[in-house]
Every structure is written in structure tokens, then in C-alpha cells.
């Protein structure tokens, strides 16, 4: 099933041109960059991961003003705010241009 869905996705994406292709690449580049953090943290112990996640999140650059949160396309991503991490509770807060949410106090 995975191979079929990849072929369908590739066929759709191959038909994108110009601005549509650039928009797709910007959005998924950002999403992949965030998701790839888990793989980068894997070699570290749980205790080390708490510190390292902040290091990795700070490396993320917002290179477009068109990024959006996949489950709410009206919420634009304007930055990545790294919050203090509680034990076993990693927090990534993404601010939207409509409503800025500060990190919660721990």
C-alpha cells in the first residue's frame, strides 16, 4: 500500500509547476525538518534528549511566510519558539500570525 501511495503522490507532485511546486517544497521541507529531529535525538539518552531537542529546534529556520500548520491552513507559521522542557514533556509551540501563544510557565 505504501508503494502505491508514493507513486500517486509522485505523480501529483510531478504535475506541479512554478509557484505551486515552490509552495509544496517549502511546506514539506519545513515539516520534514521538524519530523527529522526525532531521528537526530535517537542516539542520545533520555536525559540528554531534553537538552538536545532545544538545540535541534533552534536550528530550524523559517524561510517562507507561506508556511501553515497542516491541520489548520489558516494558521501561518511565523517562528519556532523553544520552551523550557519538563521531565518527559517536550514542547514545541508554533506561533500563528492570528494568535500568538507564549510558552506555558513550568
Convert the pLDDT of each residue in 12-48 to its tens digit.
999 999 999 999 999 999 989 999 999 999 999 988 9
Listed residue (102, 33, 99, 97) closest to 68, CA to CA: 97
3-class DSSP assignment, residue 67: coil
Q: Rounded distance, CA 29 to CA 63, Å?
A: 10
pLDDT of residue 105: 43
- Of the two residues 43 and 96, the one the predictor is more confident about is 43
Which sequence spans correspond to the domains of the chain?
A: 2-96
- Of 56-60, 83-87, 90-94, the range with the highest mean pLDDT is 56-60
Instruction: Place 9 in a pLDDT band, splitting at 50, 70 and 90.
Output: very high
Q: List, in sequence order, every residue forming a beta bridge with 89; answer none if it has no partner.
A: 86
Instruction: Place 103 in a pLDDT band, splitting at 50, 70 and 90.
Output: low
SS3 content of the chain, % helix, strand, coil (to 5): 45, 20, 35
Listed residue (35, 28, 31, 33) closest to 13, CA to CA: 28
- Of 41-45, 50-54, 71-75, the range with the highest mean pLDDT is 41-45
Amino acid at each position: 500500500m505504501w508503494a502505491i501511495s508514493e507513486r500517486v503522490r509522485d505523480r501529483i507532485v510531478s504535475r506541479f509547476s512554478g509557484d505551486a511546486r515552490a509552495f509544496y517544497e517549502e511546506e514539506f521541507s519545513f515539516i520534514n525538518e521538524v519530523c527529522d529531529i526525532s531521528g537526530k535525538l535517537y542516539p542520545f539518552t533520555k536525559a540528554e534528549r531534553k537538552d538536545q531537542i532545544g538545540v535541534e529546534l533552534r536550528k530550524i529556520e523559517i524561510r517562507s511566510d507561506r508556511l501553515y500548520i497542516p491541520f489548520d491552513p489558516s494558521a501561518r507559521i511565523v517562528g519556532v519558539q523553544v520552551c523550557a522542557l519538563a521531565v518527559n514533556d517536550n514542547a514545541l509551540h508554533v506561533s500563528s500570525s492570528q494568535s500568538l501563544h507564549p510558552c506555558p510557565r513550568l
